[in-house]
Amino acid sequence: MAGMAHHVLLADDDRAIRESLVRALELEGYRVTEAEDGVQALALARRGGFDVLIVDVMMPGVDGLGVCRVLRADGDRTPVLMLTARIETADRVAGLDAGADDYLPKPFELDELLARLRALLRRSAVPQDPDQRTVRLESLSVDSAARRAWWRDTELELSKTEFDLLELLVRNAGIVLDRATIHQRIWGYEFGPESKNLAVYIGYLRRKLEHAGAGELIHTVRGVGYTARAR
């Protein structure tokens, strides 16, 4: 990790947590800029230059969800790792709607936070093969280089994780991908058996596809995983 100098924006109103994370991240070779609330986080993020954002949900002024919504509305696609004490499915869906790419419930282990950061950064840095830039399934087009997807003439508004998940499924259309494989390909590690992270992302991606008129393209294979196939 040393020498890569990835720039992290860390936004958390808890000074003790913020200072502890700054020390840990700097020891791992990251450059860290701190924000103590959502207003400051937005001001810093809009200046650009960050490789990843770590944003706490509960902050005064503008909360973490608000920070994500504003940045995504601005067209900013910088990966966002959200720290949250809210672990219910409805709360995760709200975060997905705001544009977060991954979640880490408090309290958390530092090793897991570092693993999730590495996974987000790896996904951002994967070079695109121009010969495989666009993949299609029925009227769905997924442009890997531009990181954009359309159903016919309707563009899907996707977070980084949603896009990566859709691209993985469409590139492997007709193949059933088990949960462990998807976890490794998208997040870089496997969640525990009780985790609902993948199911939440699949559900939210399905709703976006259905809203665009795509209907049912992503199918659940009980006890195994998921597959994308034409209707």
What is the arithmetic mean of pLDDT over 182-193? Answer: 74
Query: 125-132 long-range CB contacts below 8 Å, 24 or more apart?
Result: 132/171
- CB 145 within 8 Å of CB 128: yes
Query: 24-33 long-range CB contacts below 8 Å, 24 or more apart?
Result: 24/110, 24/114, 28/1, 28/2, 28/114, 29/1, 29/2, 29/3, 29/4, 29/5, 30/1, 30/5, 30/6, 30/117, 31/5, 31/6, 31/7, 32/7, 32/8, 33/7, 33/8, 33/9
What is the arithmetic mean of pLDDT over 216-222? Answer: 92
pLDDT at 91 (0 to 100): 66
How far is residue 200 from each of residues 150, 179, 203, 223, measured CA to CA in Å? 21, 13, 5, 16
Task: Considering only residues 119 and 203, tell me which one the structure prediction assigns the higher pLDDT.
Answer: 203
The model's pLDDT over 45-100, given as tens digits with 9 standing for 90+, comes to 988 889 999 999 989 888 999 999 898 888 788 899 988 876 666 666 677 677 78
What CATH number labels 7-125?
A: 3.40.50.2300
Q: Is the pLDDT of residue 226 over 80?
A: yes
How far is residue 12 from each of residues 58, 131, 178, measured CA to CA in Å? 8, 42, 35
Mean pLDDT for all residues in the chain: 85
Parse the chain into domains and list their residue ranges. 7-125, 130-228
Query: The pTM is what?
Result: 0.63
pLDDT at 159 (0 to 100): 84
Give CA–CA dist 149/143, Å, rounded.
6
Residues comprising the chain, all counted:
231
Q: Which of 70-79, 90-99, 139-148, 211-220 shows the lowest per-residue confidence on average (mean pLDDT)?
A: 90-99
Tell which residue, 195, 223, 207, has the closest CA to residue 97: 207
- CATH architecture entry for 130-228: Orthogonal Bundle (1.10)
pLDDT at 4 (0 to 100): 57
Give CA–CA dist 34/41, Å, rounded.
8
